[in-house]
Amino acid sequence: MRAVVQRVDGAEVVVAGETVGEITGEGLCVLVGVTHDDTPDKADRLARKLWGLRILEDERSCSDTGAPLLVVSQFTLYGDARKGRRPTWQAAAPGPVAEPLVEEVCARLRALGARVETGRFGAKMEVSLTNDGPFTVLLEV
């Protein structure tokens, strides 16, 4: 699994004019990509990493502050544009594999005590955020 994690001061996901997920104030916006060999165990490891990642103000984590997370599925994180000008998506897991694993990341975060908002899997989403810092990291588990 791969995640792009941004420290934010508010973020939202809009689908067809409707806000489907939103966090206000300090938190994390997490774009999650799934590949073919990912497992529920990897989803658990990613959730634990996100919950304890010390990138908020004063090197604190969501577990320290109770800051919310906005988790958005993004298959394009496994795009490969090394050859030519058109990316391939062969490394991205198909929806029936990816969707349950993204949901598992969210479920594991909630089990840890996190407040989690989400996008809508497979939808055309408009993601808006205020990147605080800017601060962005890439995680792989």
Q: How confident is the model at residue 115 (pLDDT cuts 50, 70, 90)?
A: very high
What does the pLDDT read at residue 59? 96
Strand, coil or helix: what is 90?
Answer: coil
Residue positions annotated with a catalytic role = 74-76
Q: What pLDDT, on a 0 to 100 scale, did the predictor assign at position 44?
A: 98
Q: Over range 2-23, report the average pLDDT.
A: 98
Mean pLDDT estimate for the chain? 97
Q: How far is CA 77 from CA 12, 40, 106, in A?
A: 19, 19, 18
Burial code of 33-50, b = ≥16 C-beta within 10 A, e = fewer?
bbbeebeeebbbbbbebb
Q: Name the amino acid, one letter, at 10.
A: G
Give the pLDDT of residue 21: 98
Percent helix / strand / coil, the chain, rounded to 5: 30, 40, 30
In this prediction, residue 85 carries a pLDDT of: 92
- Position 64 scores a pLDDT of 98
d(CA 18, CA 36): 31
Q: What percentage of the chain carries pLDDT values higher than 70?
A: 100
pLDDT of residue 62: 98
The answer to whether 13 touches 122, Cβ cutoff 8 Å, is: no
User: Are 27 and 62 contacting, i.e. CB atoms less than 8 angstroms apart?
Assistant: yes
Euclidean distance between CA atoms 131 and 75, whole angstroms: 21
Count the neighbouring beta carbons within 10 Å of the beta carbon of residue 116.
Answer: 23
pLDDT in tens, 41-98: 999 999 999 999 999 999 999 999 999 999 999 999 999 999 999 999 999 999 999 9
Q: How confident is the model at residue 35 (pLDDT cuts 50, 70, 90)?
A: very high
